[in-house]
Chains A and B, each alone.
Chain A
Amino acid sequence: MQKNFNGKLVKEWVIERCIYLSGIASIIFVGLIFIFLAKEGFSLFKTVSVSDFLLGQKWYPISTPAQFGILPLIVGSLYVTLGATIIAVPIGIASAVYIAEVAPVKTREILKSGIEVLAAIPSVVLGFIGMMTLVPWVKNTFHLPTGLTAFSGALMLAFMAMPTIVSIAEDALNAVPKRYKEAALALGATRWQAIWRVIFPAASSGILAAVMLGIGRVIGETMAVMMITGNAARIPNSLFEPVRTLTATVAAEMGETVRGSDHYFALFAIGIVLFIITFFINLIADLAVHRKLK
């Protein structure tokens, strides 16, 4: 009996250690991701300076001598991200307000499942559909030599950022205490006035978090953007030219590099840049959420 009891205690101790270890596993993984990106990526800076890497205007990884300036890629990502954000933020927030505050219950459920379906569609499928429909449309509508442009990418990414923006903004709106709205309505405000003047400001930090996470989603998106932005690694003059993003560069070129070459290290260094960008975006979003809770 006594022995059995001890055995149980030991078992429990082991299990609780496992739980504890799994609990901090996420921290370990984030650390490991950074370490392994850094391990390969920092090797590049033995031959290329950090400023030449970040601000160099020429990305010619396989010519001799090779040039590893990622400014065109950063600008490419920036064009696509800015374009997508400008489109997605107003529409996404408006949809969230409609779903959270205006739509009747049944309509709300249908709309929410629509958004969930969108979130579930793999990005490679959206990229494929974009190639088949959006790209020719952009080409013909704007009379361009090619439809593979930053604009096509921005449109598609705006669409892909919607589930993130809508669902998080909707949560933020729902988290506003009902009595705020009731008080506003009792004072004679219309529903719209209550939404615009009371609920919306009260949910603003959560909505900011939604926008930040939406932007994070857009910067990190790889497949769809690689399939429809044309992949030209030079600084574009307008939204209607082909661009190449940071993510697409890594995905497209890693298969062809030699392990241990400068090109290989450079792609990992791009990974570090992406990791740092998304890290700070998530940090800001997290801070916004916690400000709300206070």
Chain B
Amino acid sequence: MIKNAYTREKLAFSILFLSTLVVVLPVILILIYIIYQGWHAISWDFLTQMPKRGMREGGIFPAIVGTLWLVLGTLIFALPLGVLSAIYLSEYAKDNFLTRAVKLAIINLAGVPSVVYGLFGLGIFVIFLKFGASILAGSLTLAIMVLPIIITTTREALDSVPQSFRQVSLSLGVSKWETIRRVVLPHALPGILTGMILAVSRAAGETAPILFTVAAFYLPRLPKSIFDQAMALPYHLYVISTQVPNIKLEIRYGTALVLLMIVLSLNLVAILVRAQFRKKRKW
């Protein structure tokens, strides 16, 4: 009987282990495959040249620049809003209906399909506010999309600062906001940084929200202002792999590799910041 139970345990654990392999192994294979296929294409020229001959030759420079602009714009809007929102939830909000509604709204923002963000951005920023298809409209759309990421990670960071820190500061007669600014925020900074990096990585990789709000199919020049259209790496990859025939595989894999490397290196930085933070934390 007992032997039977242990056999069953072995069997169950093997199945669990295999399931995990089925999830994780393809991730490793995909990474290796893209690196193997794409690294031939990567060169200084590929990264710094304009695309030529309908994207069949040349580089991906404007797409890289466009993505940088978008990411920067996203951060400018999303970071202050997200951090303040997290401060509200973790320091000010009472346990009432409004707070519950705010939390539900955040979960919902996180769950809205990315293409619906695209529609929303088109409706409000491009048409209603008359920004046109522009870096500004795209950044605002992406900013609302990454807001839940920033709020959630910042909240975790704020909540992990011990309550006693706040009590000591308040008992010395420091006001609530000063306490938050001088005591709570500095200790939560690495956590906020992690959230910020994850938001950037998400914004850099998304395609659907920028389809109708900013992305230019083929625009071999750099954007001049935030009211300009721009190319962006994820959309560029979509275009050259489905919309334009006869593009060398090398260029497609190279673009995929550059996008993947940008996103993954950002995530790696986030993981390192978080690990360092956990190691240093003394409470």
Tell me whether A128 is interfacial, beta carbon within 8 Å: yes
- Taking CB atoms, residues of chain A closer than 8 Å to B234 are 122, 124-125, 223
Report if B50 contacts A (CB, 8 A).
Answer: no
Interface string of B5-35 (1 = CB under 8 A from A): 1101100110111011011101110110110
Cα distance A70–B102 when bound, in Å? Answer: 33
Q: Chain B contacts of A283 at CB under 8 A?
A: 104
Question: Is A182 an interface position by the 8 A CB rule?
Answer: no
Interface residue tally for chain A (C-beta within 8 Å): 86
Name the one of A16, A37, A166 contacting B23, with C-beta atoms under 8 angstroms. Answer: A166
**List of A residues within 8 angstroms of B80 by Cβ:** 22
**CB interface residues, A 1-59, toward B, < 8 Å:** 8, 12, 15-16, 18-20, 22-27, 29-30, 32-33, 36-37, 39-40
Give A92 Cβ to nearest chain B Cβ, in Å: 7
Least CB separation from A21: chain B residue: B84
Contact of B115 among A16, A24, A102, A220 (CB under 8 A): A220
Docked-complex contact A98 and B104, CB < 8 angstroms? no
Q: Is the CB of A122 within 8 A of B206?
A: yes
Q: Is the interface of A mostly helix, strand, loop or mixed?
A: helix
Q: B119 near A27 (CB under 8 angstroms)?
A: no
**Shortest CB–CB separation between residue A90 and chain B, in angstroms?**
7
Task: Give the chain B neighbours of A223 by CB distance below 8 A.
Answer: 114, 207-208, 234, 238
Q: B245 at the A/B interface (Cβ < 8 Å)?
A: no
User: From residue 211 to 228 of chain B, which have CB atoms closer than 8 A to chain A?
Assistant: 211-212
Query: Which of these, A102, A282, A285, contacts B16 with CB under 8 Å?
Result: A102
A26 and B119 contacting across the interface, CB-CB below 8 Å: no
- Surface stretch bound by B, among A60-68, A112-120, A139-147, A235-243: A112-120
One of A23, A29, A114 near B147 (C-beta < 8 A): A29
| Closest chain B CB from A201 CB (angstroms) | 16
Chain B residues contacting A116 (CB-CB under 8 Å) are 267, 271
Interface string of A217-250 (1 = CB under 8 A from B): 1011111000100000000000000000001001
Known: A118-B23, A128-B241. A27 touches B102 (CB 8 A): yes
How far apart sit A162 and B201, CA to CA, in the bound complex (Å)?
Answer: 19
Instruction: Give B residues with C-beta under 8 Å from A.
Output: 5-6, 8-9, 12-13, 15-17, 19-20, 22-24, 26-28, 30-31, 33-34, 80-82, 84-85, 87-89, 92-93, 98, 101-120, 122-124, 127-128, 144, 147-148, 151, 175-178, 201, 204-208, 211-212, 234-235, 237-238, 241-242, 252, 256, 259-260, 263-264, 267, 271
Sample of 27 A–B contacts (CB below 8 Å): A16-B177, A22-B80, A22-B84, A22-B85, A25-B85, A26-B109, A29-B109, A95-B22, A98-B19, A114-B28, A120-B264, A121-B27, A121-B30, A122-B206, A124-B237, A125-B34, A166-B23, A190-B6, A192-B12, A193-B9, A221-B113, A222-B113, A222-B115, A222-B207, A267-B119, A278-B108, A286-B104
